[in-house]
Amino acid sequence: MGCGGVGRQLLQHIISCRSLHSNLGVHLRVVGVSDSKSLVIASDVKQKELDDNILAEVCRVKSDGSPLSKLTSLGESQVFSSPESRTKVVDIASILGKSTGLALVDCTASSETIGVLKEGVDLGCCIVMANKKPLTSTLEDYDKLVSHPRRIRHESTVGAGLPVISSINRIISSGDPIHRIVGSLSGTLGYVMSEVEDGKPLSQVVKSAKSLGYTEPDPRDDLSGMDVARKALILARLLGRRIDLGSIRIESLYPEEMGPNKMSVEDFLNGGLVKLDNNIEERVKKASLNGNVLRYVCMIEGSRCDVGIEELPKNSALGRLRGSDNVLEVYSRCYSEQPLVIQGAGAGNDTTAAGVLADILDIQDLFT
């Protein structure tokens, strides 16, 4: 589900890895692909698949911004439109769920998939997600989605291809209690904070990040901290915290009067941003006097779950962070003085899709 940047990249990875997977004795049979309006499925989901030519055509059509209904080289495959497409997904799940370990893969950025995913759980399907919204919905939705832990994978919801979720799960399963997590989980904000540390104005850095493709079309989607808050909520719930997004203190890097409902993107970039320079510059200088640096992080400790700017030691893993990498520090009984540090590229369609593919392969081991 989802044919945006991550979904298309996933299909391309599946095609390009055929010989590798064959050597491992694995063949991933793609029986359906959907976008928000349509679904294309194999003519016989029990036996057949969407072949690689069709998957490549899907990528081409969606790259052009066209709907799946514009596909031409379908052969015997079928296309269904909403709302019938949703019913068809559930039908396929009921046929293949428990018998084959069908994986429902959510590469959307929508909350519209939650209902289908929950039905998939009831029908015995495996769930693989890059989409954060289902796991940051209500606790009722969350409990349903994770009710069969061995049949769900969602590594790419937090650190793209980085082994964040699996590492935390291994520590928890070993009986080693995790008491603190600190992480820079936004490539955009990691880049911004390391650049302002060098004395560059925030307004200049944000514009550079936008030109480099690090930010969303409206940089306030990144600067609001909401994406980091969703990742923090997923981690906090993984640790057993019974909280929702409203429980998290979120520091936005812009004031409410510069929000999307009050100011256009152009006005924000051309007039609003520069008004934020002095405050950040003063905070950078203050941190430097204390021998620290500023980083935009999530902090999970005890009942605390916060997202915002923190002063951190220069010589820590987070303090040494440069550019758009993600860094996570995990403190537990075994990792008390020296935390477990997970670092690397934590964003990008290629990295995220690779993480999704690894999750799909990992979950198939349950059915071999």
| DSSP β-ladder status, 103-106 and 32-34 | unpaired
- In percent, the amount of the chain with pLDDT more than 90 equals 85
Cα gap 30→96, rounded to integer Å: 12
CB-CB contact of 296 with 228 (8 Å): yes
* Half-sphere CA count of 55, side-chain side, radius 13 A: 20
pLDDT of residue 212: 84
pLDDT tens string 295-344: 999 999 999 999 999 999 999 999 999 888 999 999 999 999 899 999 99
Q: Which pTM was predicted?
A: 0.94
Cα gap 35→134, rounded to integer Å: 17
Burial class (CB in 10 A: 0-12, 13-18, 19+), 331: middle
Provide the mean pLDDT of the chain: 93
pLDDT of residue 368: 57
Mean pLDDT (whole number) for 20-48: 94
Mean pLDDT (whole number) for 281-290: 95
Q: Annotated catalytic sites, by residue?
A: 231
Nearest Cα neighbor of 158 from 176, 182, 120, 132 is: 132
Amino acid at position 321, single letter: L
- Residues in the chain, how many? 368
Cα 133 to Cα 28, 69, 178, 308: the distances in Å are 26, 26, 24, 20
**Binding-site residues for NADPH, please?**
108, 132
Cα gap 234→253, rounded to integer Å: 22
Cα gap 114→121, rounded to integer Å: 11
**Binding-site residues, please?**
2-7, 108, 132, 216
Nearest Cα neighbor of 240 from 143, 132, 164 is: 143
Which pair of tokens denotes residue 224?
């609001």
Cα gap 117→10, rounded to integer Å: 19
Cα gap 290→273, rounded to integer Å: 27
Lateral strand order in the sheet of 292-301: 249-250, 304-313, 292-301, 178-184, 325-332, 340-345
Which pair of tokens denotes residue 216?
């969303």
pLDDT of residue 99: 81
Residue 73 reports pLDDT greater than 90: no
CB-CB contact of 163 with 155 (8 Å): yes
Q: Please provide residue 313's backbone torsions phi and psi, each rounded to the nearest 5 degrees.
A: -60, 140
pLDDT of residue 98: 80
**Binding-site residues for NADP(+), please?**
2-7
